[in-house]
Chain A
Amino acid sequence: MHIPDGILPLPVTLGGYAASISICWLCIRAINKREDPRADIPKAALLTAAFFVASLIHIPIPPASVHLVLNGLLGALLGVFAFPAILIGLFLQAVMFGHGGLTTLGVNGVILGLPALAAAGVFHLRARGGAIHPASPRRTTVFGFLAGFSGIALSVLIFALILLTSLPAHLSAAAERSAILALGLAHVPLAVLEGLLTGLLAGFLLRVHPMILDGV
């Protein structure tokens, strides 16, 4: 779900940068309001590195294989740090592996980062009620699934909308609708897989280290 360089016209890439910088500024403002904003940087960075490495695990889905995106889980665990973390991850992927792109860094940040923030909101609903209804393992797994699934589903939707409305060639409205539908359907197994994996992972983390689920 990375849009590479060269596809999108200049206004869209610049718009992507403007949107990403604005969202990132809001996230950094929230981080800077903390008592010690630097305290959580190593934690967020090491979790980002762990996600980066985990995303290199390829999962066979015949006839091809997919790699984990984990933006839903990243949002759930990192909260406001998720957006800057995704931008850093995308920059490093573009520089180190040539995945994604430099001009599309802003657009890709929106595609993966906004759903991560949405997934953070979804996941934190599990603890609604606080001490009265502490999050049970089942509740954590269910909300983990919802966070993982919504992270990918929203990303696919934004990806398809941006890609198909910005192509430098005429596509009929019917062809665009069919392409969005086809892209969406093709990604349903990935969204379900990420949802299940995020749910199981959230349940695992609740059992072995519940503090990590409180976010940074």
Chain B
Amino acid sequence: MIAHTISISPESPFVHRWDPRMKLIGLLLLAFTFSFVSNLRVLPMMIALTLTVVAMSRYPLDLLLRRLRYPSLVILCLIILLPLISGFTPLVEWGGLTVTREGFQAAMLVATRFFCIVTLAAVLLGTTPLLRTIKAMQALGLPYVMADMALLVVRYLEVLSADLRRMRISMRLRGHVEQRWPWRNLSTLAWLTGSLILRGYERSQGVYNAMRLRGYGHQPVSRDEFKAAPADLLALAAVCVATGLLIWLDMTL
């Protein structure tokens, strides 16, 4: 269930070794700048910037395509519907349907922003182990309540999904057949979900006791785990320049 991440070694490309704190800041800067772009002439530069990061990271293409294979249903609906239901200048008329210029442009803007941001997020977050990303967020000031919760959620996702798999197999072995209409086996579904929640709840007390015995809550959080080298800072500065350039182009072109 845990997303695939690539192991990091000194020979890995720089994007893999980039300080996760700088990487997170850089990713958010780029993503929010892409959300800011509304000028269609800037879209090719956004795509070029995204492709440059992908090329630099040497992120496996098949993995990237797998992430992009199922774009959100909302995005698909908007790309199809916006040219037909919004705007007022007709571009193409066919069989009673009118594609408007404004709607088509809006659909292009939405689709490009979506694919660029999702690609960057997949590449930049996929090249750092998830637990390290959460620790980097904590080093950037994420409250301990959320950081500890996030680390535990990641730790127990595998365990609970294995529980769910086993419970569903047991149900089938006892003769349970999933109905086409959910109303017919709603109570079974509720008990399945309830049992899963109970397993998590009951396990939590043991987890808490084990954590307390290991000193949980008594040691100050170490913020020295990450050290930014000049190359890390330089890469973040390059991202800042690129985002500044995109904003300037968006406003002047």
Tell me, in angstroms, the Cα distance from A62 to B179 when the chains sit together. Answer: 11
Partner of B122, one of A98, A163, A171, A196: A98
Q: Which residues of A sit under 8 angstroms from B153, Cβ to Cβ?
A: 45, 48-49, 52, 88-89, 92
- Distance in angstroms from B86 CB to nearest chain A CB is 4
CB pair A50–B196 under 8 Å, yes or no, is yes
CA distance A43 to B149 in the complex (A): 9
> Is A95's beta carbon under 8 Å from chain B?
yes
Query: Is the pair B152, A42 in contact by a Cβ cutoff of 8 Å?
Result: yes
Minimum distance in angstroms from A10 CB to a CB of chain B: 4
Per-residue contact bits, chain B 1-30, to A (CB 8 Å; 1 contact, 0 not)? 111000000000000000000000001100
User: B189 touching A212 by the CB < 8 A rule?
Assistant: no
A28 to B82, CA, bound (A): 40
Q: Are B196 and A53 in contact (CB under 8 A)?
A: yes
Q: Determine if B154 and A102 form an interchain contact, defined as CB atoms under 8 angstroms apart.
A: no
User: Which of B48-56, B91-99, B157-165, B232-240 lies at the interface with chain A?
Assistant: B157-165
A-B CB contacts (within 8 Å), total count: 242
Q: Is B217 an interface residue (CB 8 A)?
A: yes
Which residue among A28, A168, A197, A205 has the maximum number of chain B CB atoms within 10 Å of its CB? Answer: A168
Residues of B within 8 A of A8 (CB): 35
Given the known interface contacts A43-B201, A47-B197, A169-B86, the answer about A56 and B161 at a Cβ–Cβ threshold of 8 Å is yes
If A60-B180, A85-B149, A175-B85 touch, does A209 touch B193 (CB 8 Å cutoff)? no
Cβ–Cβ < 8 Å partners of A88 in chain B: 146, 149-150, 153
A102 contacts B31, C-beta separation under 8 Å: yes
B85 partner residues in chain A, CB cutoff 8 A = 171, 175
What is the interface residue range for chain A against chain B?
A: 35 or more
CB–CB B152/A208 < 8 A: no
Chain B residue nearest in CB terms to A99: B72
B44 at the interface (CB under 8 A from A): no
Interface majority SS on B: helix, strand, loop or mixed? Answer: helix
Contact B35 A170 (CB under 8 A): no
Contacting pair B186 A200 (CB below 8 A): yes
Tell whether, in the assembled complex, residue B28 and residue A62 are in contact, meaning their CB atoms are under 8 Å apart. Answer: no
A157 to chain B, nearest CB (A): 16
* A50 engages B72 (CB within 8 Å): no
Nearest-CB distance from A106 to chain B (Å)?
11
Q: How far is the CA of A45 from the CA of B200 in the complex (A)?
A: 9
Pairwise interchain contact A62-B204, C-beta atoms closer than 8 A: no
In the complex, the chain B residue whose C-beta lies closest to that of A91 is B150
B154 touching A92 by the CB < 8 A rule? yes
26 A-B pairs within 8 Å (CB atoms) are namely A6-B116, A13-B35, A28-B146, A38-B217, A41-B152, A41-B208, A45-B148, A46-B160, A47-B197, A53-B196, A60-B181, A61-B182, A70-B193, A84-B146, A87-B146, A96-B2, A102-B27, A167-B106, A169-B107, A170-B86, A170-B102, A175-B85, A201-B193, A201-B194, A204-B190, A204-B191
6 shortest interchain CB distances as A-B pairs: A6-B114, A6-B113, A169-B106, A45-B152, A200-B190, A50-B200
A: which residues have CB within 8 A of B? Answer: 2-10, 13-14, 24, 28, 31-32, 36-39, 41-54, 56-57, 59-62, 68, 70, 77, 81, 84-85, 87-89, 91-92, 94-99, 101-103, 163, 167-171, 175, 193, 196-197, 200-201, 204-205, 208-209, 212
